[in-house]
Amino acid sequence: MSIVINSPLDMHLHLRDDDMLKVVAPLSATSFSGAIIMPNLIPPITTKNKLIAYRKRVIDASKDSSFNPYMTLFFKPTYSKEFLSKVKDEISAIKLYPAGITTNSEGGVSGFDIKELKNTLNAMSELNIPLAIHGETNGFVMDREAEFASIYEMLALNFPNLKIIMEHITTKESVALLDRFDNLYATITLHHLLITLDDVAGGMLQPHLFCKPIAKRPEDRASLREVAFKAHPKVMFGSDSAPHPQDKKEASFCSAGVFTAPITLQLLTELFLENSNLDNLQKFISTNAQNIYNIEVPKKEVILEERDFIVPTKYGDIVPLYAGEKIKYSIKEIIC
Ligand code: NCD
Ligand code: ZN
């Protein structure tokens, strides 16, 4: 039996830069129609020139003309309406990181003082630029996302015309927010649908499963699975595939990030066929995102089949999720 996915989209993707970009970009570009590209480079993407130059490097590395990189800027509360008007056509969203909360986020926002944020957020509302947020406080690691709920509420209430995307949600509290505020949306990763904290730290420590936000409890995963499998219209797939070199993962001070890009479609197919259906996978992985972001996407047909695929142990010097293991589905053909 062949399974067809049309124009898949990855609404949260880290492609990095330089040599690593060249390794990882084609892995997403060949099988996806587009992706929201994260701006947390060193230094982050904060100017129009950097954005345009990075977009070109992404396109050059992608080697697939039917892949659309949807670029993002790294949020700064100093962005003026004049600056945003000039950059608007080059971006699909602006990504807000709380300062120091995850990889390369040191230049992010400290404190969430509405007086400090309001000029930029009002300008984004008026210009219709979505705000994507890494929603974690600096509290106890398991509670960070739940604690951030009050900030999501404050932003949703004060900026009712701003589209706010809760990135990579991991808790039942975040799922509950979706139906409380019209302007809140969410991305969900593959790994948070698959694992809980037990998989990361319940036995021998698994550095390749360590990411921010950390995987949570079984009941949180159940809540994520419920909205994903029914393809709630306000949720979309965002892999948060976040490659780091092997020596930065298998180390003291292990970097946060799970590298899933090469196997996302195969594993999502398996998960949805076992727990939901192909129609809902199509919505979760493409249609919902097209509606939420209001984007047209390049046509691409990905055909998968039930055939074992042994996940390579490495791509360059990056170890993927389930390295060396056998998974059930393979990509058979991609038609552009
Ligand atoms: C991401 C990275 O490595 O850039 N890491 C992660 O654990 N998810 C950043 C992020 O999205 O938090
Ligand atoms: Zn991310």
Return the pLDDT at 160.
97
Among residues 181, 107, 196, the alpha carbon closest in space to that of 149 is found at 181
The CATH code of the domain that includes 287 is 3.20.20.140
CB 212 within 8 A of CB 256: yes
The residues facing 109 across adjacent strands are: 98
The pTM of this model reads 0.98
Residue 294 backbone class (left: φ over 0; alpha: ψ -120 to 50; beta: rest) = left
Of 96-110, 123-137, 149-163, 171-185, minimum mean pLDDT range: 96-110
Q: Which of 240, 279, 308, 317 is catalytic?
A: 240
Q: Over 80: is that where the pLDDT of 1 sits?
A: no
The answer to whether residue 119 sits within a structural domain is: yes
Helices (H), 196-303: 197-201, 218-229, 246-249, 264-275, 278-282, 288-293
DSSP characters over 75-115: --TT--HHHHHHHGGG-SEEEE-BTTSSTT-TTSB-S--HH
240 is catalytic: yes
Within-domain flag for 308? no
Tell me if 132 sits within 8 A of 93, measured CB to CB.
Answer: yes
Tally of structural domains, the chain: 1
- Predicted confidence band of residue 65 (pLDDT cuts 50, 70, 90): confident
Q: What's the gap in Å between 95 CA and the centre of ligand 2?
A: 10
- Stretch 139-148: mean pLDDT: 96
pLDDT at residue 154 greater than cutoff 80? yes
Residue 95: name the closest of 36, 171, 173 by CA. 36
Residue of 133, 188, 212, 244 best suited for mutating to test ligand 1, as the one with most atoms within 8 Å of CB: 212
User: What's residue 263's pLDDT?
Assistant: 98
- Report d(CA 139, CA 85) in Å as an integer: 36
Domain that holds residue 155: 8-299
For range 65-76, the mean pLDDT: 96
The answer to whether 29 and 67 are in contact (CB under 8 A) is: yes
Task: Give the mean model confidence (pLDDT) for residues 136-140.
Answer: 96
Residue 336 lies in a domain: no
At 332 the pLDDT is: 97
CA distance 46 to 40: 10
pLDDT (average), residues 252-272: 98
Mean pLDDT over 190-219 rounds to 98
Q: Is residue 325 part of a domain?
A: no
What share of the chain has pLDDT > 90, as a percent?
97
- Ligand 1: which of 20, 37, 40 to mutate, most ligand atoms within 8 Å of CB? 40
Pocket of ligand 1, beta carbon within 6 A: 14, 40, 102-103, 134, 211-212, 240, 242, 256-257
Closest CA to 90 of 52, 53, 46, 137: 52
The average confidence (pLDDT) of the chain is 97
Segment 99-114, tens digit of pLDDT: 998 889 999 999 899 9
Q: Is beta strand 184-188 parallel, antiparallel or unpaired with respect to 235-237?
A: parallel
**Position 225 confidence tier, pLDDT thresholds 50, 70, 90:** very high
pLDDT at 111: 87
Going by C-beta distance under 8 Å and a sequence separation of 6 or more, which residues neighbour residue 243? 14, 16, 20, 23, 24, 257, 259, 261, 315, 318
Mean pLDDT of 111-135: 96
Strand partners, 258: 241
Q: What is the pLDDT of residue 102?
A: 87
By DSSP bridging, strand 301-310 and strand 2-6 are: antiparallel
Rounded Cα distance, 24 and 314, in Å? 11
Does residue 314 form part of some domain? no
- Amino acid 33: pLDDT: 98
Residue 27 CA to ligand 2 centre (angstroms)? 17
pLDDT at position 2, please? 86
Tell me if 270 is assigned to some domain.
Answer: yes
Work out the pLDDT band at 64, boundaries 50, 70, 90: confident
In a domain, 318, yes or no: no
